[in-house]
A and B are shown apart, each in its own frame.
Chain A
């Protein structure tokens, strides 16, 4: 590829090649506090859908070690989103060293809070907000559970905030606003320097949270079996890991309490979380 950028996020290293200069410059700026990759685990390629689409109405297709044939190309202005989707895809389909949970994670006092939920549940928003309140940001997309030790490895890529949550997620260094993407407006919030510097320091899970946005405030304990069923659904590589995944996940849900919360606004969610954490 003409232009390339390499970065390490927690245990995973990526090389992102691009037919255009602009996406690589945007990535280099967004990730300027991150360590460089040495040997990439994954390659992502941002390339034109047709050769002439490098110049004419530039259109970015996501390619790499793993690809989704139905992934729609994005306009060049949204290449940061294409890179993020490409990196997510490599992790989701290719990562084998941890049980990979679609969850955000934050840490306090060496103990981690796992936040699992569908898109729109508030993973990125809550993790970003907690990071402004004394918690360490460990990631907003993937929580990496080490099958051997039961600890969580950080994957603190910039948080991907969407639409109304962009205004809610608090202070920090932000990437450019990406307007009108297939997911709406998106803006990336870079974790603070301390969270990036601690990207090699894991934490022991202490609470599993299943949030749901838009309902009246409520909280209920979630039984281990329900947590297990939800988290197998939230894992992209549970099947691939075989028995190692089974052992890691049954241990997690037996050792760590889980709670489901409904929240009408973020202040309520934070209060419910702090109450359960205490």
Chain B
């Protein structure tokens, strides 16, 4: 299964500190995200499988070998309405 984030034009993103504030224009909802959620959103601008997403993030983040953590983060973003199955 592939996942997709909203297009960049649907989000306003402001880095505050370790938290990033994200405004989701279609819903009007505000989210406070910590790493690696903003990076997942950025990567999922194109639809990716979890394996492909893990490869993209591996260059920057130590998620390799902990697929469960990545699944949990993606599930959270799905629950928040920021990521959907493509």
Q: Which residues of A contact B (CB under 8 A)?
A: 223-225, 228-229, 232, 238-239, 242-243, 246-247, 250, 253-254
Contact = CB atoms under 8 A, between A and B. Distances in A.
B16 A243 contact: no
Contacts of A223: 16-19
Majority SS at the chain B contact face:
strand
Contacts of B19: 223-225, 228
Contact of B16 (A232, A239, A247, A254): A254
Contact of B25 (A232, A243, A253, A254): A243
Contacts of B32: 225, 228-229
B23 interface: yes
Interface of B: 12, 14, 16-19, 21, 23, 25, 28, 30, 32
Q: Nearest 7 CB-CB pairs, A to B?
A: A225-B19, A250-B14, A224-B16, A246-B23, A225-B16, A223-B17, A225-B17
Contacts of A238: 30
Nearest to B13: A250
A179 B40 CA distance: 57
B4 to A, nearest CB: 22
Contacts of B16: 223-225, 228, 250, 253-254
Contacts of A243: 12, 23, 25, 28
Contacts of A247: 12
B28 A250 contact: no
Contacts of A253: 16
Nearest to B30: A246
27 contacts: A223-B16, A223-B18, A223-B19, A224-B16, A224-B19, A225-B17, A225-B21, A225-B32, A228-B16, A228-B21, A228-B32, A229-B32, A232-B30, A238-B30, A239-B28, A242-B28, A243-B12, A246-B12, A246-B21, A246-B23, A246-B30, A247-B12, A250-B16, A250-B21, A253-B16, A254-B14, A254-B16
Contacts of B17: 223-225
A246 B32 CA distance: 12
Contacts of B18: 223, 225
A238 B18 CA distance: 22
A247 B18 CA distance: 18
B41 to A, nearest CB: 16
Given A223-B17, A250-B21, 8 more contacts: A225-B17, A225-B19, A225-B21, A228-B16, A232-B30, A238-B30, A246-B23, A254-B14
